[in-house]
Amino acid sequence: MSAHASLNGPVGLGLGLISIGRTWGHGQEPPPPEAEARRLLEEALALGIRFLDTAPAYGASERILGAFLAGLGTRPDDLVVATKMGEHWDEAAGSGYADHGYDALRRSLDVSLARLGRIDLLQIHKATARALESDGVGRALEDARRAGVTAFGASVSDLEAAHAASRAGIYAWLQFPFNALDPRLQPIFGLAARDGTKILVNRPFGMGRIVHEGTGDPAAIRTRALRFVLQQGFSGRILTGTKSVEHLRENVRAFQEAVGPG
């Protein structure tokens, strides 16, 4: 199996871009200079990663990704660019805040489209059952559909929201945190299998805790952590959230080891 194929099979590896836009992670490290962020994106594509996940609440991430994509000229045909609406970025405060009202969602959609040019997957960020069932979210999704967005998802942090997304019948993807340290949302895998929904797993390394606090070979720790997620049985992507080119390479190797030979 080629490196590209191993990262883009029924369960593949994607790159979450929170760390290039804002302070994040186990050590609360600041984002890298933009030149380093662009180098990370270049390396991701060179390694074969074809799923990039950003959000307005990721600080400068969406803007940096948009500039990178514009610089490519032509995107790879199989590249999926995913973003979100529902959590917004307060530049002055340096933090995000949730607002699922129609006006806020519509403004967010317009800005994201201007930055990215095309959105392949639009997710409701900080999704709650109440938000997913609201008229404002429904109207904003219709606007997004008219603007050319063809796939929708919900980024959830509890089972109630996951079930609300399932009932809605319009969300093709569910994103949520899952790892050996925090397996509380494991029932979502069964829900997604029943509905035919794809999954995006974020925080597979527990924001770095699994690697930094583990004992033994870091490469083996990464592989075990990814294998724990893969054993759940699902279709979709595991998102690695690094800002480091070297860590990205290590995570790609760990994923390929966890998947095994094809």
CATH, domain 3-259, list 3.30.450.20, 3.30.465.10, 3.20.20.100, 3.40.190.10: 3.20.20.100
Counting every residue, how long is the chain? 262
Task: Name the pLDDT band for 106 (thresholds 50, 70, 90).
Answer: very high
Close Cβ partners of 97 (under 8 Å, ≥ 6 residues apart): 87, 88, 90
User: Could you state, in order of their start, the residue ranges of all structural domains in the chain?
Assistant: 3-259
Question: What proportion of the chain, given as a percentage, has pLDDT over 70?
Answer: 97
Task: Name the pLDDT band for 3 (thresholds 50, 70, 90).
Answer: low
pTM listed for this prediction: 0.96
The residue-averaged pLDDT of 197-222 equals 93
Q: What pLDDT was estimated at residue 2?
A: 62
| Tens digit of each residue's pLDDT (9 = 90 or more) over 161-189 | 999 999 999 999 999 999 999 999 999 99
Assess contact for 22 and 31: CB atoms under 8 A: yes
The one-letter amino acid code at 57 reads A
Q: What pLDDT was estimated at residue 214?
A: 85
DSSP summary character for residue 56: G
The one-letter amino acid code at 137 reads V
For 138-196, the DSSP string reads: HHHHHHHHHTT---EEEEESSHHHHHHHHHHS--SEEEEE-BTTB-TTTHHHHHHHHHT
Strands (DSSP E) found in the chain: 11-16, 51-53, 80-85, 87-90, 95-98, 121-127, 152-156, 173-177, 198-202, 236-240
The residue-averaged pLDDT of 117-134 equals 98
Q: What pLDDT was estimated at residue 24?
A: 81
The residue-averaged pLDDT of 219-225 equals 96
**End-to-end Cα distance, the chain:** 5
Assess contact for 140 and 133: CB atoms under 8 A: no
